[in-house]
Amino acid sequence: MEAQVIFALSFAIFFFYGAESATFTFTNNCPYTVWPGTLSGQGPQPSSTGFELASKASFTLDIPAPWSGRIWGRTQCADSGGKFQCATADCGSGQVTCNGAGAIPPASLLEFTLAASGGQDFYDVSLVDGFNLPLGITPQGGSGDCKATSCPANVNSVCPPELQVKGGDGSVIACKSACLAFNQPQYCCTGAFSTPDTCKPTDYSKIFKDQCPQAYSYAYDDKSSTFTCSGGPNYLITFCP
């Protein structure tokens, strides 16, 4: 994915500028509890890699810059026999903290590269790994474009049967990406479809894009989905914006 290359380059450029941090404020506007998870791609793990966030609650986490990584929300979680598990976006750690493990798809993702010394941050909402709940990013402070981005819609409500993940009560609790569901190159942007020129939107990715125009709907959906902010902003992370 082009955004990943950009993120890696921007991280390398700013890695040596000195240790700083950005304050991430997590707010849960969902009518249910969410268990956020964090995963570092480059840079140290945040002080918390997973925690419980009740409906209408907030939590603040300082994340050191430079840093790149992902944030997501897990749903329908419980501790059973000493093992913590979630119905959607579980990280497989068996604990509330994810400890360096990522979200098991389908999962709505927030992706970041934070630059040091007021350099340019990159951030996006990604549905490339599918969807489990609405979420969004709002920069606080900073300079430049610094636009908010989100996926506020409930994609589960329009998820085609072949992509649906259902809970114990038969309701749709997550929506797979076509790549996850079918594992075919045209949906995964692999093989002969591994470049922006050959991997184009599909009928499935368009469902995600129609619901959440600002979010990545497939691997090369860069132009409308990558956002930037400079000057060392903080970030508001909202579940069910």
- pLDDT at position 224 is 85
What are the φ/ψ torsions at residue 115 (nearest 5 degrees)?
Answer: -95, 150
- pLDDT higher than threshold 50 for residue 1: no
Average pLDDT over every residue of 146-164: 98
Domain 2-239 annotated CATH 3.40.20.10 = no
CB neighbour list of residue 128: distance below 8 Å, 6 or more residues apart: 1, 109, 177, 179, 216, 217, 218, 219, 221
The pLDDT score that the predictor gives to residue 19 is 52
Predicted structure pTM score: 0.90
Locate the domains of the chain by residue range.
Answer: 2-239
Contact present, 223 and 14 (Cβ < 8 Å): no
Q: What is the pLDDT of residues 91-143, one digit of tens each?
A: 999 999 999 999 999 999 999 999 988 899 999 999 999 999 999 999 999 99
CB 124 within 8 A of CB 3: yes
β-strands 227-229, 234-239 pairing:
unpaired
pLDDT tens, position by position, 207-230: 999 999 999 999 999 888 999 999
